[in-house]
Amino acid sequence: MPTAIVTGSGGLIGSESVAYFAAQGFRVVGLDNDMRAYFFGPDSTTQPTTDRLAAELGDTFLPLTVDIRDAGAVMDVLARHAGDLELIVHTAAQPSHDWAASEPQTDFGVNANGTLNLLEAARTHAPDATFVFTSTNKVYGDRPNFLPLEDRGTRLELPEDHPWYGGVDLTMPIDTCTHSLFGVSKVAADLLVQEYGRYFDMPTVCFRGGCLTGPQHAGARLHGFLSYLMRCTVTGEPYTIFGYEGKQVRDNIHAHDVVRAFHAFHRSPRAAAVYNLGGGRESNVSMLEAIELCEQISGRTLDYTLSDDARIGDHRWWISDLDAFKRDHPEWRLEYGIEAVLQEIHDFNVERWSEQRAARAVGR
């Protein structure tokens, strides 16, 4: 049986990868030390997801408590599974702009040094295994904020004759702009993955994701905006929109579509591949539009305020160009649009979130 190693296996994309590749006939080894609870508090713990996967998948899933900053531990895991290791899916990360500024060394240690540890272990023990890295569009820094955006009422938008109207491609530069410290640590990891692919001829890919989401996303104030937005709408928690009058645009891609892209690349890998990956023109939304959809789906009104303070390095507009990946992997396409994503987030969580709303009402 082929083996896949998934880092961050209790997180949104990691857990989706575990379930997906187990169903595809892999034995999956998961590395996760629940740092999300450290980053965002106990409500964001990934341990219940890890426990659920272990119960559902049995012998096909081996969860290990491993910190990817521990080079020796990472090397030992890959050495033990080198014989049948075919795929490494690296999703473990510190994912927040704001949190990175509070502990820059932790952020860089996880995102950059952790990635280097995995690459070196792969080069040593399984150089032919496909190495999939979940990078981010934040490698472009705030460069998208200099695009000639127009105010369309509920959203900012590019003119239709702009070359990136259909989505940003890899020609967008990454220099002379503000990245946030999170963006910098992900740039370092992204370039490392490319360089190991190019220099050592290893099958590697960087997927520069827009907003990755899904029903099991443990949304928090500093990360996972669609999940957190729906949660606040259902529970009655107040929500703050930071900057741009709520007209900032994001493309959003369901975790299942992300992992299907991983599999498509694994079936025909190459060295040092890079793709922008998000919802593209098929699945994108502004904050104001997302609020309206959350209210329609939940039947509740969101208590929100607008702040003039935009987060450092945050994007006013982002839509990914998916054409390059579709050309290289024509069997892949999006299966989820924005409304389907939000409906699934609501339906999966509404019972628990409604209980939280009731508890809030009692506590007042």
Q: Which of 216, 206, 62, 230 is nearest to 137 (CA)?
A: 206
- The pLDDT confidence band at residue 189, using thresholds 50, 70 and 90, is very high
Two tokens, residue 137? 């569009």
Q: Average pLDDT of 327-339?
A: 97
User: Would you call 205 helix, strand, or coil by DSSP?
Assistant: strand
**What would the mean pLDDT of 322-350 be, rounded to a whole number?**
96
- Tell me what pLDDT residue 361 has: 75
The pair of three-digit structure tokens given for residue 233, joined into one six-digit string: 């709408």
CB atoms within 10 A of CB 356: 16
User: Per the confidence metrics, is the pTM higher than 0.85?
Assistant: yes
**Rounded Cα gap, residues 9 and 344, in angstroms:** 21
127-136, 209-218, 345-354: which has the minimum mean pLDDT? 209-218
**What confidence tens digit (pLDDT) does each residue in 237-292 have?**
999 999 999 999 999 999 999 999 999 999 999 999 999 999 999 999 999 999 99
The answer to whether the CB of 278 falls within 8 A of the CB of 145 is: no
What is the percent of the chain with per-residue pLDDT over 90, rounded to a whole number?
A: 89
pLDDT in tens, 29-82: 999 999 999 998 898 899 999 999 999 999 999 999 999 999 999 999 999 999
Three-state SS for 217? coil
Tokens 């104030």 label which residue? Answer: 221
CA distance 54 to 298: 32
Nearest 5°: the CA angle 158, 260, 345 is 70
Average pLDDT over residues 174-202: 96
Q: How confident is the model at residue 219 (pLDDT cuts 50, 70, 90)?
A: low
Q: What is the DSSP string of 264-311?
A: HHHHS--TTEEEEES-GGGSEEEHHHHHHHHHHHHT----EEEES-PP
**What is the dotted CATH code of the domain comprising 3-151+159-213+254-281+314-337?**
3.40.50.720
CA-to-CA distance for 323 and 95, rounded, in angstroms?
26
State what percent of residues in the chain have pLDDT above 70.
97
Mean of pLDDT over the chain: 95
Instruction: Look at strands 156-157 and 85-90 and give their pairing.
Output: unpaired
Query: In angstroms, rounded to a whole number, what is the distance separating the alpha carbons of residues 181 and 156?
Result: 26
Specify the pLDDT at position 260: 98
Mean pLDDT of 322-326: 97
pLDDT of residue 220: 60
The count of other CB atoms within 10 Å of the CB of residue 23 is 11
